[in-house]
Amino acid sequence: MILPTAAASARVERTRWPNGLVICTQHVPGVRSVALGAWVRAASLHETPELMGVSHMLEHLVFKGTARRSAKALALALESLGGSLDAYTTREYTAFQARVLDRDLGVAADVLHDVLFAPLLRDEDLALERGVILEEIAMVEDTPDDLVFELHDRLLWGAHPYGYPILGTRETVGAIPGEALRARHAALYHPGNIVIAAAGNLTHEGVLAALRNAGWADVPAGDARPMAVPPVEPAAPARKRVIRKMAQTHVVIGSTTIPLGSPDRPAYSIVNALLGGGMSSRLFQRVREDLGLAYAVYSYQSLHPEVGVHGVYVGTAPATAAKATQAIRDELERLVQEGIPEDELALGRQQFVGQYLLSLESVSARMYRAASLELYDEPDRTVDEVIARIEAVTPADALRVAQAWFAPDRQTTLTLGPRS
């Protein structure tokens, strides 16, 4: 039996200020660092077709200078201390994260405040950053094993925002005006729409004090009503081939799956991992080791509050693409028909427990977990509770999940590559 340490058992502390800001923290003893992040509840899921990519563009533009700091000064503020500052945009939120020594928590809180609430958002900076994002889009277009996922999302979701490219398109990025960015910032970048999370060598009161000193408590509350999201209506299962001259053929076979809060999440995650989560997985052993059809083959999952997406990726020679695709579909069918025997499932449970416990050693992972409790309304389970849920998964659970979500005839297939 694995015994959790005191560090692993620490609970997340939570405070909501009058201006709507939610702060979640977790103390991690034995480290000298702190991870501090801010999650803005605005992302590609909340965009319109003509403003596709505006969330990601705003994420870029806030780093181009503030009322107190130039773009270079923002970069130096934490890098000069040995720390880091970065950001990314997802379907549900835009995240800004700092990693610093514990003594520099106040600096990180001040820099994040500056970036989120005092960016200049100048038209001249937009003109330059527009070019940077167009180059970012070009990188995706030139990277087939990235592009195939974007194309699969569009095929799976149709016109729903879940199918929008987070970067936007060349057309939308080229046309988004500065007024739209400034309006979006004014409407959405306020405390009532932000979650703060921190983990590391800290106390909850110490984080609150650092945020107060940086001015977070003084920012007025905004409209905290959840942004509207269109009803989820994925397209019917389909197959599509996109012809492009390249050395390999890239295939994604996937569909919708459980939402983030599903009680089947432990069983589903174990099944998905055993199917294609590593070198010992069924797909790796069959497609790569037994048949020699691919270097890269794996399953993936991306779970959202309303719905999830999962699938299988394979990159293979054009001449063997059909054979590799059929081998994957055969493995999906075997999973649905036979499920997973107890001996294999026991290894999956063991793997999942080990991965979970190892993740607790990262302060950044702890920070994200603390944020997810608020972002996704997840319960703050103890380590023992999480392990118990994993250990409770039975072969009957695995079979039920497999039959509900992994059947070959409910998958959408996108093939990207040259003419065969």
What is the residue whose two structure tokens read 């057309």? 171
**43/94 Cα distance (integer angstroms):** 6
Our answer to whether residue 344 is catalytic in this structure is: no
Backbone φ, ψ for residue 234 (5° rounding): -65, 150
The whole-angstrom distance between residue 70's C-alpha and the CA centroid of its chain comes to 29
Amino acid identity of residue 169, one-letter, is T
Q: Cα Rg for the chain, rounded, in angstroms?
A: 23
Which of helix, strand or coil describes residue 247?
coil
User: Of the residues 13, 47, 59, 129, which is catalytic?
Assistant: 59
Full 3-state SS string of 121-167: CCHHHHHHHHHHHHHHHHHHHCCHHHHHHHHHHHHHHCCCHHHCCCC
CA dihedral 48, 49, 52, 54 (to 10 degrees): -40
How far apart, in Å, are the Cα atoms of 290 and each of 73, 90, 314? Answer: 54, 37, 15
Work out the angle at residue 335's Cα, subtended by the Cα atoms of residues 330 and 340, and round it to the nearest 5 degrees.
145
Active-site residue list:
59
